[in-house]
Amino acid sequence: MSERLEPCETHWIDPKCPVPFQFEGVSYSGYEGDVLASALWANGVRFHGRSFKYHRARGAYSMAGHDISLMVEDGQHTNLRGDQLVIRPGLNIRAVNTLGGLEKDWYRVTEWFSKLLPVGFYYKAFYTPKWLFPFYEKQMREVAGLGRVNHNDKIEKTPKDYADCDLLVVGAGPSGMAAACTAAEHDLSVMLIDENPHPGGSLGWQNPMCDPSRNARSEYIHRLKGAPNLEFRAGTQVAGVYADQWVALVDNRRLTKLRTRAMVLATGCFEQPAVFQNNDLPGVMLGSAAQRLMHHYAVKPAEVAVVLAANSDGYQLVLDLIEAGVQIACLVDLRRDGEPTDLDQRVREREVRVLVGYGIDEAVPQRGNKAIRGASICPVDDHGNLDRKTIIRCDCDTILVSVGWVPNAGLIYQAGGRFEYESKLEQLLPSTLPDNVFVSGRANGVYSVPDKVIDGQRAALSAVRYLGKYDGPIPGLNEHVGSPPTHPYPIFSHPNKKNFVDFDEDIHLDDFKNAHQEGYDNVELLKRFTTVGMGPTQGKLSNFNAVRILAQLNGQSINQTGTTTSRPFYNPVPLGHLAGRRFHPVSRTAIHEWHVKNQAQMMYAGASMRPEFYHQEDKSREEAILGEAVCVRHHVGLIDVSTLGKIYVQGPDAASFLEKIYAGRYAKQSVGKLRYGIACDETGVIIEDGIVVRLAEDRYYVTATSSGASAFFRSLQRWAKVLQQDVTLVNVTSQLGAMNLAGPASRELLQPLTDIDLSPTSFPFIGVREGNVAGVSAILARVGFVGELGYEIHVPTSQALHVWEALMRQGKKFSIQPFGVEAQRLLRLEKGHLIVGYDTDSMTNPFEANVAWAIGKKKPFFVGQRSVEILRKQPLLRILVGIRFLKDDYPHWPEECHLIFKNGKSVGRITSLSRRSTLGYPIAMAFLHPDLAKSKTRVEIRVAGDQNVVGEVSDMPFYDPDNQRQEITKKELL
Amino acid sequence: MKILTCPINGPRPIQEFHFGGSFRPLPDLDDMTDDQWADYVFNRNGEPGVKTEWWYHTASGVWFLADRNNETDEVVRTYLYQPESTDV
Amino acid sequence: MSDVLTNSGVGLRRRMVTSSSISDASTRRSPIHDWLLRRAPQWRDWGGMPTVGYFESVESEAQLAKTLGLCDVSGMSRHDLRGPDAESWLQSQGWEIPVALHESTLIPGKGRIIRLDHDEFLIEGSVLANIEPLSISSPSERVVDVFHFQRQDATFLLTGGRAIEVFAQTCGVNISKCESGRVIFSRIAGINASIFPDKIGTVPVYWISTGSDLGWYLWETLIEIVEELDGRIIGMTCLLSS
């Protein structure tokens, strides 16, 4: 185990708390606060994972959350990144994407074939022949993919929440902290977000013990703690910015949906790789990664290092490394003019060998390609290429790259910002921003610490002014002076083609050249063909080099070439976070618990729970359903129909309004009577049916189907406005419970419980009365849905259970049974009553549904009337008919929606079906071609196994066609 | 997540609303052919620009109109339906 | 023709009268009655509905109510009053009527009036006074064009300083910025609901109402969150004493 550096205030680790963990079956020890990568590095383990395509050895590269070569799983979570995963005792980690473990990894053979796997290989190779694709797919699924999902995993609760603030500041570096602290002084609620566990940003790792970094860090971290209106969330990524300033914040535990009024994006920059041979091997990494290892984790990043620089940052890095005891073999500066500042002098004073105008041609690997042993260094020629005639070999164990930066621009793009390339900085800078979005710091091209602080204050004051809390002066932006912090083309070709541009997808420089030759000369096409930037880091380290390469291949500028937009999420978000608490609203009637206690099999009807049927000892489901139906036919049954839509319509225009909504006539309807109604949409399709009850001259009560109630009510509300009707509409669907007492004994049962005279003359079929049932005020309606004498009873929801229990008690001596949805469906099918949305579809008109009788004649207007009248003149294409089956012993039985055939031609489909009915034979309702709708016509229904079941068209209703049952009493039946 | 401003309830997340389709003034039925009626019923104008749409705030049951630019998804204004002013 | 309007749930119009004729006491059930039953509470009657007085001790629940408590108050009487004459009828009672939409006024000692629309009002009985449900009575024999019915909603009271954290997990509207005494129609946990921010003493409380059919769902969802935040269910007695 290599020793750690002396403790320092910038460190995130606690050297007093050792943390044992396992990686690939081997035990190691790190410290609390270590991430997996730093702990491994401290243990001398630099080989962390295999690359995706060629299975090359990889190690830490950015230490900033973009190192997917150390993508691991802990048995419960997949997709964990080693440079972000904080170790904890007992953590047992395996690298993903290997066969037989990290060291052996049999998949590494793919690299030997790499010459046979040119860019676009998969698109071309597996395209034909088509019949082989399933084989290819199976093989590829084995090889591809990162990690395995543990299906036995326990569900973790990940509550989502909402938050609000006036100003969101993203990034707690110098600029972001200055912005947040400045804004918080102006009576605004400010939220500061950073993905790291501690604030400070680059102040914490880029030469942090030198001024002005040290001063700025201590000042602002102190001010952060003291600011009253400022909430700082560490360890939180801003996963995406959405319309109207909705921002997704993701931490370990939850997704927060933040709404802000303005934002300051101080998101900083990503340091970028240089492209040279073997630039991906363990031991090659970004200068910032080495500094993060040193200053966050107290890990010495190297023994002997070569530094490849193209900016001042590289020179500062050298000084920083020397402080940590790292031997500098050589500082290689890509710039032919070298470093213009006094850093050059300071580095040379430390006796560092500086090669100005040189580049690295190759990282020289050790045997086995799992580490490096040196660098091959060549001069840069006039064209920016390496002159391989002169090669300087330099022994080292580490190559650190510090050649430039690109803005962390994803959120800025998502917020509506646009960028342009600025050659003074060789960097993209925000060119246009929405009024409420401000960018500051390195992402805004500001590099010195004092300037970053000022830029943060500038952005904050601009935001505060936008929010109307400031009208004072706003500091200007200092122009960048000196050489650009970024090299315009740190990319060098090599004959051996292991010079990687994209580490996620193993795409090297020649892949781009080949793609370009094939005609993919547009950035969007190139991206899709080469898959650059489509790996787990979404191109944070590769997209811009790809743009530079394409610009050069096209001979265009960066602005002409364009860039790709980064979409949410910034980093992958666990699906559990997105799912959140999983709200699944379930609607229950007031009688729900009674049903459950009485062995009901509950089912979902839309979002509502309803009894499907009630279990009975020794009876199958089918027998139980039939038993309930028979009980209704012979005795009496009770069903909970509380889910019915229930709407009051009242006011001077109530009657005229209903005539406009429904196809039927209601103006002359008698008070105390109900009528059946169908409602159409403007295309003439049936959208609702139900009963229309007239309770008073200007007061109606209508019912709607359970599933359509809320949509129907919405449409009533809108039509009332559009047609300028003076009506009051009240949706009482959840305010009233409803139950249907049906069967020959229902009158006798109910009479003692109510003050309403139930005698046939006083309360006839289709009559409606208001009164009391079991002491509860109720509306009673004599409906015929199930085809027996019956009363639909509507009562206040809170009293529905009381009424239900009273009816059940009273019904004992009449052998009452509760019945469920299935029995009701059977009973109404026997009566030939359709269910809208079940027997009708989104195209069914009243003629097809055989309910043209419910259309009022000579009405001036109803919704859909014009369409209905047009349809009336057109030939009918299908019609709802009854089907009777002659046998029920087929091995396969038809189901709803099975097709009907006649002479081998499809002529219709089944809409409802019951294999067992109270009639003793199976029945169905079906759409059929009108030519075949004549009674006794034989048709065939195609069922499973290509078999046919024979049925014949039957008149409906199947049961009691003359409606005599409505007035039969129990006594007459006996 | 979009915010829509209900004229009665103020700005709310879009999930609180139900989209009611484009606003189409009821045509004069007496003075139109079947073809014109079919055009009214089945065809919608999807060309880019500001469209008037019906929206419904479900928790309070408020229908209102929104002038929305379907190209930029910007809501220009929201207002309650007034038969006189909108029925041009 | 009867001139008596019951305060029952079935809507009536044009015949407005005093309630009294029907005693439906104890026939009412909260939508979460069976859920509460399993926690073996001490019951008390409230507007004809068995309502939880307390579970274990009134004192501990009074403490909980200050931080985070959830109480079923579905027994509270809530009356819808709609129609062209609704406002004049309310005026005839001598009550102050809220002017702006969604605002409320107090009916001293009885409850409050909330304006839902230009001709729609909600009249709520107060929990603190523990009064009987409001009885809407006509001042005279004259016919008024008013629709009235007693609402059957599930109503829960979320109490305490941490209540706002429950909303943060369930509601897209920033309830902490909403003023007290105004009703908010929004969505909680994916369903439509009304929220009425209020205060009992100095403790912030929120009356949450939704359709009774979704009451069980909302209760289970809220109580899961409340308990994760170290809150508990409480009975109504502790609210009366505070």
Give partners of A (≥3 CB pairs < 8 A).
B, C
Q: What pLDDT band is residue C18 in, cutting at 50, 70 and 90?
A: very low
Note whether B16 contacts C186, CB cutoff 8 Å.
Answer: yes
Residue in A with minimal Cα distance to C212: A734
Q: What are the chain A neighbours of B38 within 8 Å (beta carbons)? A: 870
pLDDT surpasses 80 at A958? yes
CA distance B47 to chain A (A): 22
Q: Is the dihedral of CA B33, B34, B40, B44 positive or negative?
A: negative
Note whether B15 contacts C194, CB cutoff 8 Å.
Answer: no
Mean pLDDT of A836-857: 94
Residue in C with minimal Cα distance to A775: C24
As a whole number, the mean pLDDT across chain C is 83
Q: What are the chain C neighbours of B8 within 8 Å (beta carbons)? A: 101
Computed over its alpha carbons, how large is the radius of gyration of chain C?
Answer: 18
User: In terms of DSSP H, where are the helices of chain C?
Assistant: 33-37, 58-67, 86-92, 163-170, 215-228, 237-241
Note whether B1 contacts A243, CB cutoff 8 Å.
Answer: yes
Note whether B9 contacts C185, CB cutoff 8 Å.
Answer: yes
Determine the residue among B15, B41, B55, B80 to mutate to test chain A binding: the one whose Cβ has the most chain A Cβ atoms within 10 Å.
B41
**Cα C190 → chain centroid:** 20
Residues in chain C: 242
Q: Measured between CB atoms, does B15 come within 8 Å of chain C?
A: yes
**DSSP 3-state of A140:** helix
Minimal Cβ distance to B3: which of A244, A731, A866 = A244
% chain A with pLDDT above 90: 82
- List pLDDT tens digits, range A556-613: 999 999 988 788 999 989 888 998 888 899 999 999 999 999 999 999 998 899 999 9
Q: What are the chain B neighbours of A724 within 8 Å (beta carbons)? A: 83
- List pLDDT tens digits, range A736-749: 999 999 999 999 99
Q: What pLDDT band is residue B83 in, cutting at 50, 70 and 90?
A: confident
The pLDDT value recorded for residue A928 is 97
Residue in C with minimal Cα distance to A776: C24
Beta strand pairing call for A674-680 and A686-696: antiparallel
CA distance B82 to chain A (A): 8
For residue A174, give both structure tokens: 């110098």
Q: What pLDDT band is residue A968 in, cutting at 50, 70 and 90?
A: low
Minimal Cβ distance to A257: which of B1, B2, B41 = B1
Measure the CA dihedral A367/A368/A373/A376, to 10°: 90
Phi-psi region at A254: left, alpha or beta (left = phi > 0; alpha = psi -120 to 50): beta
ipTM of the complex: 0.96
Q: What pLDDT band is residue A507 in, cutting at 50, 70 and 90?
A: very high
Q: What pLDDT band is residue C241 in, cutting at 50, 70 and 90?
A: low
Instruction: Please report, in angstroms and rounded to a whole number, the separation of the first and last CA atoms in chain C.
Output: 46
Determine the residue among B16, B57, B80 to mutate to test chain C binding: the one whose Cβ has the most chain C Cβ atoms within 10 Å.
B16
pLDDT surpasses 50 at C210? yes
Q: What pLDDT band is residue B84 in, cutting at 50, 70 and 90?
A: low
Q: How many C-beta neighbours within 10 Å does residue A724 have?
A: 11
Beta-strand ranges (E) seen in A651-789 are 674-680, 686-696, 699-704, 728-731, 736-742, 768-773, 776-781
The pLDDT value recorded for residue A567 is 87
In the B/C pair of chains, how many CB contacts fall below 8 A? 27
What's the CA gap between A174 and A448, in Å, rounded?
10
The pLDDT value recorded for residue C131 is 43
Q: Measured between CB atoms, does A593 come within 8 Å of chain C?
A: yes
Task: Please say whether the beta carbons of A666 and A657 come within 8 A.
Answer: no
pLDDT surpasses 80 at C218? yes
CA distance B54 to chain A (A): 9
Instruction: Please report, in angstroms and rounded to a whole number, the separation of the first and last CA atoms in chain A.
Output: 96
Note whether C187 contacts B60, CB cutoff 8 Å.
Answer: no
Q: Measured between CB atoms, does A964 come within 8 Å of chain B?
A: no
The pLDDT value recorded for residue C144 is 63
Q: Measured between CB atoms, does A589 come within 8 Å of chain C?
A: yes
Q: What pLDDT band is residue A112 in, cutting at 50, 70 and 90?
A: low
Determine the residue among A244, A862, A873 to mutate to test chain B binding: the one whose Cβ has the most chain B Cβ atoms within 10 Å.
A244
pLDDT surpasses 50 at A462? yes
Return the higher-pLDDT residue of A886 and A733: A733
Q: What pLDDT band is residue C142 in, cutting at 50, 70 and 90?
A: very low
Mean pLDDT of A110-124: 69
The pLDDT value recorded for residue C127 is 60
Q: What pLDDT band is residue A395 in, cutting at 50, 70 and 90?
A: very high
**Short-list A72, A96, A1, CA closest to A40:** A1
Q: What pLDDT band is residue A157 in, cutting at 50, 70 and 90?
A: confident
The pLDDT value recorded for residue B5 is 97
Residue type, A459: A
pLDDT surpasses 90 at A15? yes
- List pLDDT tens digits, range A171-183: 999 999 999 999 9
Residue A746: which H helix or E strand, with range? helix A746-750
As a whole number, the mean pLDDT across chain A is 93
The pLDDT value recorded for residue A109 is 67
pLDDT surpasses 60 at C23? no
% chain C with pLDDT above 70: 81
**Short-list A30, A37, A32, CA closest to A14:** A32
- Lookup result for tokens 């031991």: A283
pLDDT surpasses 60 at A650? yes
Note whether B16 contacts C101, CB cutoff 8 Å.
Answer: no
The pLDDT value recorded for residue C21 is 28
**DSSP 3-state of A300:** coil
What's the CA gap between A483 and A495, in Å, rounded?
31
Q: How many C-beta neighbours within 10 Å does residue A968 have?
A: 13
pLDDT surpasses 90 at C12? no
CA distance B8 to chain A (A): 16
**DSSP 3-state of C204:** strand
The pLDDT value recorded for residue A641 is 97
Q: What pLDDT band is residue A221 in, cutting at 50, 70 and 90?
A: very high
In the A/B pair of chains, how many CB contacts fall below 8 A? 46
Residue in B with minimal Cα distance to A242: B1
Question: What b/e sequence results for B59-74 when a residue is b if at least 16 CB atoms lie within 10 Å of its CB, and e otherwise?
Answer: bbbbbbbbebeeeeee
Q: Measured between CB atoms, does C193 come within 8 Å of chain B?
A: yes
Note whether A696 contacts C14, CB cutoff 8 Å.
Answer: yes
Note whether B57 contacts C194, CB cutoff 8 Å.
Answer: no
What are B's interface residues with A at a Cβ cutoff of 8 A?
Answer: 1-3, 13, 18, 20, 26, 29, 34, 37-38, 41-42, 54, 56, 61, 63, 73, 81, 83
What's the CA gap between C3 and B61, in Å, rounded?
32
Mean pLDDT of A474-478: 88
Q: What pLDDT band is residue A130 in, cutting at 50, 70 and 90?
A: confident
Residue in B with minimal Cα distance to C171: B13
Q: Measured between CB atoms, does C174 come within 8 Å of chain B?
A: no
Q: Measured between CB atoms, does C178 come within 8 Å of chain B?
A: no
Residue in B with minimal Cα distance to A247: B1
**Cα A148 → chain centroid:** 21
- List pLDDT tens digits, range A223-264: 999 888 999 999 999 999 999 999 999 998 899 999 999 999
pLDDT surpasses 60 at A185? yes
- Which residues are A145's β-sheet partners? none
C89-118 residues touching A, CB cutoff 8 A? none
What's the CA gap between A4 and A301, in Å, rounded?
10
Residue in B with minimal Cα distance to C191: B59
Q: What are the chain B neighbours of A718 within 8 Å (beta carbons)? A: 20, 54, 56, 63
Q: What are the chain B neighbours of C194 within 8 Å (beta carbons)? A: 59
Minimal Cβ distance to C168: which of A161, A593, A794 = A161
The pLDDT value recorded for residue A299 is 97
pLDDT surpasses 50 at C22? no
The pLDDT value recorded for residue C125 is 82
Task: Please say whether the beta carbons of A377 and A394 come within 8 A.
Answer: yes
**Short-list A73, A76, A41, A80, CA closest to A59:** A41
Supply the pTM of this predicted model. 0.90
Q: Measured between CB atoms, does B53 come within 8 Å of chain C?
A: no
Q: What pLDDT band is residue C5 in, cutting at 50, 70 and 90?
A: very low
- List pLDDT tens digits, range A402-422: 999 999 999 999 999 999 999
Determine the residue among B8, B63, B80 to mutate to test chain A binding: the one whose Cβ has the most chain A Cβ atoms within 10 Å.
B63
The pLDDT value recorded for residue A116 is 65
- List pLDDT tens digits, range B12-71: 999 999 999 999 998 988 889 999 999 999 999 889 999 999 999 999 999 999 999 999
Mean pLDDT of A456-463: 98
A676-695 residues touching C, CB cutoff 8 A? none
Minimal Cβ distance to A163: which of C14, C149, C168 = C168
Q: Measured between CB atoms, does B13 come within 8 Å of chain C?
A: yes
Helix axis angle for A821-830 and A621-634, nearest 10°, is 60
**Short-list A270, A171, A333, A302, CA closest to A503:** A270
Note whether C213 contacts A587, CB cutoff 8 Å.
Answer: yes
